[in-house]
Chains A and B, each alone.
Chain A
């Protein structure tokens, strides 16, 4: 009995120690967040000398946000392609998961392949590292003419990727980090600039709050792209409003998003009652943040900005629901065609194009009546791509 009591006592001490350690790390994280000096936001906009003053911050944040709300011009292939040489080739699309975004990109990539006479083979990794490795190995084994790694981190498939590169197979990575990430043998990137995206969200929060925002960004920081988005927002807060505003970067496990993100949101709101802006760095995450905010009883005080421009989230913004803004991608189909163009350039021995994905800040002021109004220049982009591919400089 005495032994049992001792064990219980030791267990309680261990639990208390663990809780105290966790509290300590939380504090230190906030401190490190506040002192974190990244320069990524410099890509968002030119620096201003008077940004540190309150008025300067409001003016610049407003100006930047207005700029990010503006229409986005169509980005089309920079040069033509030798379409005859492309015909009959086989491209492999290694798909990280089964989300609608993934599947829509695959469908668009396949559509572009059909238009160019290229066979497209898809490998569904189903969110597993094992599957990702098997997919790349399979593509190499089947003699692929090109491979797209769609949200498949090249570092996690290093072994089969080396075999692909040794075999001379061009590999394009998509959504694995910023456009300036080292290529390390890859042919090219197709991705948005996550630091810029984070900065855009920060500018919206700063402009909307007139530089008094107290915010929390939620990111699965194990993924470079989400980490850079969170850090981009932090850097922009620090650049424009270092004294009167604050933002903390909260990490969570993407594999447990459904159970963890809502709880984390409630904890963050309880920990800091001054928070009035939340930035989950992907729209699907907003779906878990909104109920948590509602349960906190502070839905009227807290504004939420997401990222991606998922149609259901856009509808929510349009309807005045829980989400207030998002950083939207152009139509998903365009991204699929851009990936195809990049890989085709690799397969034809051309130089890689700059396929940094342009983003648009969308809130109630510019959302319009229908999603098709968000990127009007991208209507019928497929014809523009084919015109560009068939231009005389391609053959």
Chain B
């Protein structure tokens, strides 16, 4: 049972010691295998979400070749989720270190509102970027200090920050939608390559960057170890507090940049959008933790989780399903993926 405000996905037992690996108890998905059953268990555990994504995509494509299986539809699906993808990666940073950062959509909205106002008042792109980065840095630092140094619960702190930032967004915009944003901020979000806007490419670049940091650098492993067991990690000489504070700062800065890009992409900002961007990034991050690197919040898994949700919902929409079906799909996909991963790991442990 994790402490309040502390994240524990499945069995992160291995990550509780710096020498461990993941929820497989240190053996990892690449550990010794004992036969076909174990291999199937491994495969389901690692690629269940990816397989579900492929099955859904192929199924909808066969069912609706003229509407679903079109480049226009694929572009629409990936473009629409670009900002959510960035927030999901932002969420995964703190989650990987064992903390919740619920304030990310609040940071996004405030920075979007500030960007829109600054652009409207004639500020240069450099100034906008500087302000947005400063806000991200500040919010991340406040979160980090309150949680790590003062010991306030992460869930409560970031929930309070989310609420406060939501209110600040209304204050900054004077309860109004800021529309008609134009200029360089729009250009950097909307330039196109292969028919896809910049914002989509930034999302993918962020995924690649997060993958590299998580999987190929000591910092990525430190985050994982800190998330798994702080005391043991501290004894191993890892600067746990700095890693945690850094994770909150990184999460807020990514969210802040996402806010700036949101304004550039939409050309407007509605201060009431904060809560619309809360659930989906976390759903994608949690779904992502059940695939590819099972039991860890990982970048490629988050990408797969995100697209599983969007493919499912878009396909259902195009099939003409009632709108409530989307909610059911979202919820069932999340619970099912987590449950399947857990079952697969258990059966693998029995076999091993």
List, in ascending order, chain A residues with CB within 8 A of B314's CB: 134, 138
Chain A residues near B72 (CB-CB < 8 A): 140-142
- How many residues of A sit at the interface, in one of the four size bands? 20 to 34
A130→B84 contact, CB < 8 A = yes
Please name the residue on chain B nearest to A161 by beta carbon. B267
Docked-complex contact B79 and A137, CB < 8 angstroms = yes
Question: Are A155 and B272 closer than 8 Å at their CB atoms?
Answer: no
Minimum distance in angstroms from A120 CB to a CB of chain B: 10
* Complex CA distance for A155 and B178, rounded to whole angstroms: 9
A255 is an interface residue with CB less than 8 A from chain B: yes
Q: Chain B: which residue is nearest A154 at the CB level?
A: B179
Judge if A323 is at the interface, Cβ distance under 8 Å. no
Any B CB within 8 A of the CB of A395: no
Report A200-245 residues with CB < 8 Å from chain B CB: 220-222, 224
**Alpha-carbon gap, A126 to B309, bound state (A):** 15
B177 at the binding interface (Cβ < 8 Å): yes
A127 interfacial contact with B, CB 8 Å: yes
- Is A222 within 8 A of B267, CB to CB? no
Q: Which residues of B contact A127 (CB under 8 A)?
A: 276
A124 at the interface (CB under 8 A from B): yes
B79 contact set on A, CB distance < 8 A: 137
Which of B124-132, B225-233, B316-324 forms part of the interface with chain A?
B316-324
Q: B302 to nearest A CB, angstroms?
A: 17
A residues less than 8 Å from B265 (CB atoms): 159
- Contact of A158 with B270 in the complex, beta carbons under 8 Å: no
| Interface: B67 (CB within 8 A) | yes
Question: Which residues 91-124 of A have a CB within 8 angstroms of B?
Answer: 95, 98, 121-124
Does A66 sit at the interface, judged by CB under 8 A?
Answer: no
Docked CA distance A134–B93 (Å) = 27
Any chain A CB within 8 A of the CB of B175?
yes
B276 touches A129 (CB 8 A): yes
Docked-complex contact B272 and A142, CB < 8 angstroms: no
Residues of A within 8 A of B (CB): 95, 98, 121-124, 126-131, 133-134, 137-138, 140-142, 153, 155-159, 220-222, 224, 251, 253-255
Interface residues of B (CB under 8 A from A): 67, 70, 72-73, 75-77, 79-81, 83-84, 170, 173, 175-177, 179-180, 190, 265-268, 270-273, 275-277, 314, 317-318, 320, 323-324, 326
Besides A130-B83, A141-B76, 13 other A-B contacts (C-beta < 8 A): A128-B273, A129-B270, A129-B273, A134-B77, A138-B76, A140-B72, A141-B70, A141-B75, A156-B177, A158-B180, A159-B266, A222-B177, A251-B175
List 7 tightest A-B contacts by C-beta distance, closest first: A141-B72, A155-B179, A134-B80, A124-B323, A158-B267, A128-B276, A137-B76
